[in-house]
Structure 1
Amino acid sequence: MPTRHLLLCFLLPVNAFAADTLEEITVTGTREPRLLAETPASVKVISGETLRADKPSHPAQVMGQAPGVWVNVTGGEGHMTAIRQPLTTNPVYLYLEDGIPTRSTGFFNHNALYEINLPQAGGIEVTRGPGTALYGSDAIGGVVNVLTRPAPPTPQLEVSAEVGEYGWKRLLASGGNTWGENGLRADLNLTTTDGWRDHTGYDRQSATLRWDRALGTDAVIKTVLTGSRIDQDTAGSSALVRADYENAPTKNYTPISYRKVSALRLSSAWERETGDTLVSLTPYLRDDSMELLANWSLSYDPTVYTTANRSFGLMGKWRRDFAPLRARLIAGVDLDASPGRREENRLATLTTTGSGVSKLYTAYSVGTRVYDYDVTFIGASPYVHGELSPTKRLRLSAGLRYDDLRYRFDNHFAAGAIAASTRENGGAPVTRYYGQSGDTTVRFHHLSPKLGVTFALDHDTHVFASYNHAFRAPSEGQLFRPSAQTNEARAQLAAASALGLKPVKADQYELGLRGKAASLDYEVSIYRLEKRDDILSYKDPVTSATQVVNAGKTLHRGVELGLGAPMSKAWRLDAALSYAKHSYEQWVIPGTADFSGKDMESAPRVIGNLRLSWSPAAGQRVQLEWVKLGRYWMDQANTRQYEGHDLFNLRANWALNKTLALYGSVQNLLDTRYAESASVSSGVDVFAPGLPRTLYAGIEAKW
């Protein structure tokens, strides 16, 4: 590949190569451009053009365009994700920015997409299921790779200002230029809102700076600096009893909760290609911190805590192409050192009104320190990936990755248990015990094989099949922050049990077909994903206290369908549909419960997204979207069920001239009452209400 082509791979948006789906280019699997037709995986590309047209106020508003993907809203831009898994906060997804994990394995954040400047990204690639050998721990349910925008070839400036109901205001600005061998782009996102529920406002400031530079005739370097600061009241996910959910959804039982987030990432990717050989080195730095008073644990474990970690990493890759059989060999290593810390205090007092799950928390004071430790995650992961084509139509791939991961734990407390008490409304203190492990090193090592095949039935039809093994090491919170207990002995036992958590192991088999029939683009895939030693949370039905354990086995299987078709010159229809079943195959909690054979909670069988677009001219679009979420169980025992919901959203973009355009959207067009999540708390059905009908409008200028 000549340097000019290599530079274009850095500069062009992901869909600029594509005349149709089969010729679409993806970059996630091997960290460089690759034909989707020769990718043995289910990958959905959400283009940069789609992001700039939709201007999502939350990741949920675009992620559902990928079949089988459900992202909900937990408050502000917070979220939980379901990709070939139930809706979960568990670390079973790998979030990337330009191919680099946004966090280390040890410090997973299920809200990862709010740490990325999503509305100004250059595109999103969503790989459903485990990733290739180039990706290790975390990549089980899926890999989400958000791509930054390259520098424009000529001077460019874009500014949009928008307002909406509930105090929504946002300014997006982006601009850049290319001077000879250097290209620069800067993006800025300033957002504020009061929130539609009581005490659910947030403020966000995000910026991205990208510098592309050609080095001589055979090398390029891409340097990206991104940062976000988020200050929000986290109670958007505060669930309500049914009466309030149906009649007073703006209520918030936990107005004292909050979250303050800071995320900074710096990377510099150097690539040199000479002849048939490419070498790339990508050093990176990350700095993440969060202060949190969690709303979901106020009733059984009221604490406020700060977590922070810094990462120093290097991703190295060597690739060689061979003329016979179009063979390709990739070898590399990922290195990551992430020192971090946790400081957590029990709340000493709580002021409340009411009782039960509808109790209102209005004030607090901070009490005893219950966790205070440093922990460093260290990872070294070599891998090898190979591809070849025995025939023109057949493409085979295989990979092997070895992950050597460890935690160095330094507890500022002695081994044992810390007692801490909380008084509610001046009453008798409630004392809980927090187990403490001694200084230790915990190590995990794992070998992950990958196999894939693609075959062209004809020019417009391709079939693919794959087997992927994946795993997930426990995170620092799962290992070193066990749940609070009622006595010292139980606390010590919980601490010892947490240290004994095993990694999650997963095996996925997948068969897919993608192609083009007349003007219809389609992709259909069938998968079976089995997880062993799944790390699951058991919630006590009376106290709502949770305990993390290794379950025996869970099973996830389904079919996914993606369709896209122009119906005429002005009309287009796109669809993303899935039907899946997620079940506990083996999960027995001795002396407590046996969930074997039960469906998993928060796991709808049907997820659908249908978009009808009318574009009479360039720069003009009106789109109606139908979002379908099927019914699902609200508890592990399968006794309560959420009925599901159907939502309709309307979007419009209207260019006034070459410089100015108007845009807007109406979310939840029919003002449907629905739940972002539904569960059972202390034996009572509770619902986190979703956004009512809400209007956003803005104006955009481009020069």
Structure 2
Amino acid sequence: MGAERIRALVALSCACAIGGASAAEAETILEQVTVTGTREKERLVETPASVGAVKAEALAADKPAHPAQVMNQIPGAAVAVTNGEGHTTAIRQPFTTSPVYLFLEDGIPSRSPGFFNHNALYEINVPQAGGIEVNRGPSSALYGSDAIGGVVNVLTRVPPTKTEVGGSVEIGEHGWRRALLSGGSGYANGGFRADLNLSATDGWRDDTAYDRKSGTLRWDHFIGDSTSLKTVLGFSEIDQDTGANSPLVREDYKHDPTRNYLPIAFRKVSALRLSTSFEHETADSLLSITPYVRDNSMDLLASFALRFDPSLAETRNQSYGLMAKWRQDFAPMRARLIAGVDLDMSPGSRRENRINATTRGSGASQEFIDYTVGPRIYDYDVEYRGISPYLHGEISPTDRLRLTAGLRYDDMRYTFRNDFAAGVVQAGTSFYGQATDSTVSFRRATPKLGATYALDRDTHLFASYNQGFRAPSESQLFRPSRATSRASALALAQSAVDLDAIRAEQFELGIRGVVAGVSYDLVAYDLTKRDDIVSQRDPETTQTITTNAGKTRHRGIELGLGAPIHRAVRLDVSMSYAWHEFEDWETAQGDFGGDEQASAPRFMSNTRLTWTPTAAVRAQLEWSRIGSYWLDDANTVKYGGHNLFNLRGNYTLNPTWSLFGSVQNLTDKRYAESAQLSTRSTPVYSPGLPRTVIAGVEAKW
């Protein structure tokens, strides 16, 4: 029975969206399942949400060097590279580092909601994952704070049913080298798997080396036919010279793209996650209890702050949590009720020193070439506590119609203790406001409503209404930015602790199905955010204030298509067209109501042509398009967007050995991973990877 349960979990972990389907799976949208939309295994066609995914098979074949190389295959989702595996994300939002996304591993947040990191995907072993699911749009009614733009759930790989060992070694340009090692075994009542990822690169730009060690251990054990235990241990150790895709003035961007104005920047990351899920399932009920612990730490000399608030920070955060739920199914009208509670206790700390940087040049091309450590500017402990009960219900009044509803209540609290007295700390000509010891609380109830309707066997409609919210994070509340006077520093500290939570609501309508072997998924959405938390920086004085500001509206259409155009050729298309606008947005720099948001391309697409003439050969040509976008909120300067082409291939020599390779940026296009306005409104561009070749060999026993 244990082996059968493992095979069932394997099938579940392979659930995919249209964009990730293989040549023989055009019709499988009708059978696909998802676990992210409800935390329960559920048919995608009965899920009133936009859930896209990348299969385990696609991850294993593509062996992405960065999450962007697979995440961009999902309609409406895009990831841009900062450095190493660092990233910004755009899911129904502009490309941003703001805390509007929730990152999960097997349904458990990889970090506490109070200690957000926009680079959270580099803390997870993505290349050796069992799939990635992305639930686009607000999901706070199930997952709580952060789930506004979307939820990214990275699935671990299921243990094998028999002993297997394998691994791959690859090398590439710019000093790229990586070993992916894996092994596991099954037994009568379960199985285990271990994955190890050892990656390193010299970086294609100056002083951007990167080293990573990460791994995942998973053990599944079954007690009889109805009870199971799943234990997952994940860890990552990362050491990188960031430069965080150091932006360049246009002349250097065009003619000297390897240059790095910020070579002193670095980050050292340590992440550990351990959880054990207990599930007892009967014919019509399920009890699930998952305790977990997390440990996250980072030493950071932030490149993005060097020009206006240079510092060296040590942040630490531990978490102790529990996720518990009970599900009961009822025979009449296939009714289902899920009741659960999430508990999170996360103590953390911040120790931060001002640095005195040695620079060369001035303006947007100023270089930071050395530094000395200055006085301590922040020294505090803060504990996040969250208690979040929720209810989710489903019912089918008819065979074709399924209705869902949910409600979650979040009670969140920060307990803050400052090792400095309340007031101001001065470092040279800079001033840093200090909050007094205090408790800051946020409470929010978030509902959701949804419906799916089968027009016929091959055509399904869905509609939904979802609310979302985002409570301010630790750094937004208690780490206000640098001020130029004592009075300003006090005002910044007070405005930070007075921040409100971001509120969001979304209406969504979609249709998915299969026509003449072509699978499709078409979605339209309208998402409004209120009281957005923004950091407003004056480009002249560089003084920054974090505040709640106005109202933004995000509307768009997302489309996924999968079509077998020949016995050996398949076409997959993911695209979106969206408007990200300010509706009510007035700051010290002006009134931006009616303008588009910066870093918000209207059009994004990913097209893949896959050729599999035999079971041993796979070749894929990928075309990725990012449309133009404004560099500033006043809509005065624009980046023209770019088109990139990538090539991947796999060749199986025999059952044991295979070869693989890729060419990123096939045409060697000069493009920007991000673009913005810098000091004194100068356009700056962070150049993307030039043409890069990677090749490797893989063995399986």
User: Above 0.5 in TM-score?
Assistant: yes
Aligned equivalent of 2:335:
327
Report which stretch shifted further, 133-142 or 78-87.
133-142
Shift of 1:332: 0.4
User: Does the CA contact (< 8 Å) of 1:46 and 1:125 recur in 2?
Assistant: yes
2:61 aligned residue (27, 30, 53): 53
Aligned equivalent of 1:130:
138
User: Does the CA contact (< 8 Å) of 1:378 and 1:407 recur in 2?
Assistant: yes
Q: Distance in 2 between matches of 1:522 and 1:213?
A: 38
Aligned equivalent of 2:602:
605
Q: Distance in 2 between matches of 1:35 and 1:223?
A: 25
User: Does the CA contact (< 8 Å) of 1:7 and 1:214 recur in 2?
Assistant: no
Secondary structure at the counterpart of residue 304 of structure 2: coil
Q: Distance in 2 between matches of 1:546 and 1:487?
A: 13
Matched, 1:207 2:215: yes
How many residues align structurally? 691
Q: Distance in 2 between matches of 1:382 and 1:5?
A: 33
Q: Distance in 2 between matches of 1:11 and 1:649?
A: 29
Question: What code does the residue aligned with 2:687 have?
Answer: P
RMSD between superposed Cα atoms in Å: 1.3
Aligned equivalent of 1:426:
none
Matched, 1:645 2:642: yes
Question: What code does the residue aligned with 2:265 have?
Answer: S
Q: Deviations over 1:140-177 (max 9, x none)?
A: 10000000001001111121000000000000011101
Question: What code does the residue aligned with 2:421 have?
Answer: A
Secondary structure at the counterpart of residue 186 of structure 2: strand
User: Does the CA contact (< 8 Å) of 2:649 and 2:660 recur in 1?
Assistant: yes
Counterparts of 1:524-535 in structure 2 under 5 Å? 524-535=522-533
Matched, 1:159 2:167: yes
Aligned equivalent of 1:428:
none
Report which stretch shifted further, 251-260 or 353-362.
353-362
Secondary structure at the counterpart of residue 206 of structure 1: strand
Shift of 1:649: 0.3
| CA spacing shift, 1:127–1:619, aligned 2, 3 Å | farther
| CA spacing shift, 1:545–1:697, aligned 2, 3 Å | farther
Q: Deviations over 1:325-358 (max 9, x none)?
A: 00000000000000000000001x3222111111
Matched, 1:475 2:473: yes
Counterparts of 1:261-410 in structure 2 under 5 Å? 261-347=269-355, 349-410=356-417
Q: Deviations over 1:479-523 (max 9, x none)?
A: 000111001110001000001100000000000000001110100
Report which stretch shifted further, 533-542 or 300-309.
533-542
Aligned equivalent of 1:424:
none
Aligned equivalent of 1:629:
626
Shift of 1:203: 0.3
Matched, 1:568 2:566: yes
User: Does the CA contact (< 8 Å) of 2:95 and 2:600 recur in 1?
Assistant: yes
Secondary structure at the counterpart of residue 492 of structure 2: helix
Q: Distance in 2 between matches of 1:685 and 1:16?
A: 43
Aligned equivalent of 1:121:
129
Aligned equivalent of 2:446:
448
In the superposition, the TM-score normalised over structure 1's length comes to 0.97
Matched, 1:35 2:46: no
Q: Distance in 2 between matches of 1:559 and 1:686?
A: 30
Q: Distance in 2 between matches of 1:283 and 1:108?
A: 20
Q: Distance in 2 between matches of 1:145 and 1:365?
A: 40
User: Does the CA contact (< 8 Å) of 2:2 and 2:189 recur in 1?
Assistant: no
Report which stretch shifted further, 111-120 or 268-277.
268-277
Shift of 1:15: 2.5
User: Does the CA contact (< 8 Å) of 2:3 and 2:190 recur in 1?
Assistant: no
Secondary structure at the counterpart of residue 300 of structure 1: coil
| CA spacing shift, 1:406–1:473, aligned 2, 3 Å | same
Shift of 1:131: 1.9
Q: Deviations over 1:173-214 (max 9, x none)?
A: 111010111300000000010000000011000011000000
Q: Distance in 2 between matches of 1:149 and 1:209?
A: 9
Secondary structure at the counterpart of residue 615 of structure 1: strand
Aligned equivalent of 1:664:
661
Counterparts of 1:538-577 in structure 2 under 5 Å? 538-577=536-575
Aligned equivalent of 1:10:
9
User: Does the CA contact (< 8 Å) of 2:6 and 2:190 recur in 1?
Assistant: no
Secondary structure at the counterpart of residue 229 of structure 1: strand
Q: Distance in 2 between matches of 1:14 and 1:520?
A: 23
Question: What code does the residue aligned with 2:657 have?
Answer: L
Secondary structure at the counterpart of residue 60 of structure 2: helix
Shift of 1:618: 1.2
Q: Distance in 2 between matches of 1:639 and 1:9?
A: 55
Q: Distance in 2 between matches of 1:147 and 1:350?
A: 42
Aligned equivalent of 1:93:
101
Q: Distance in 1 between matches of 2:70 and 2:245?
A: 20
User: Does the CA contact (< 8 Å) of 1:12 and 1:150 recur in 2?
Assistant: no
Secondary structure at the counterpart of residue 278 of structure 1: strand
Aligned equivalent of 2:590:
593
Shift of 1:217: 2.3
Counterparts of 1:158-197 in structure 2 under 5 Å? 158-197=166-205
Q: Deviations over 1:627-664 (max 9, x none)?
A: 00000000111111000000000000011111111100
Aligned equivalent of 1:419:
426
Q: Deviations over 1:224-256 (max 9, x none)?
A: 000000000111411000000000000000111
Question: What code does the residue aligned with 1:279 have?
Answer: L
Shift of 1:592: 3.6
2:576 aligned residue (547, 557, 578): 578
Q: Deviations over 1:309-333 (max 9, x none)?
A: 0000000000000000000000000
Q: Distance in 1 between matches of 2:12 and 2:46?
A: 20
| CA spacing shift, 1:165–1:410, aligned 2, 3 Å | same
Shift of 1:5: 6.8
Shift of 1:7: 5.1
Shift of 1:70: 1.4
Q: Distance in 1 between matches of 2:186 and 2:119?
A: 34
Q: Distance in 2 between matches of 1:645 and 1:638?
A: 19
Percent identity between the aligned chains?
Answer: 60
Q: Distance in 1 between matches of 2:300 and 2:420?
A: 21
Aligned equivalent of 1:439:
437
| CA spacing shift, 1:16–1:539, aligned 2, 3 Å | closer
Aligned equivalent of 1:679:
676
Q: Distance in 2 between matches of 1:174 and 1:4?
A: 19
2:489 aligned residue (488, 491, 495): 491
Secondary structure at the counterpart of residue 318 of structure 2: strand
Report which stretch shifted further, 539-548 or 684-693.
539-548
Aligned equivalent of 1:425:
none
Aligned equivalent of 2:91:
83
Q: Distance in 2 between matches of 1:262 and 1:598?
A: 40
User: Does the CA contact (< 8 Å) of 1:13 and 1:123 recur in 2?
Assistant: no
Secondary structure at the counterpart of residue 45 of structure 2: helix
User: Does the CA contact (< 8 Å) of 1:466 and 1:509 recur in 2?
Assistant: yes
Shift of 1:545: 3.7
User: Does the CA contact (< 8 Å) of 1:3 and 1:219 recur in 2?
Assistant: no
Q: Distance in 2 between matches of 1:45 and 1:97?
A: 14
User: Does the CA contact (< 8 Å) of 1:52 and 1:119 recur in 2?
Assistant: yes
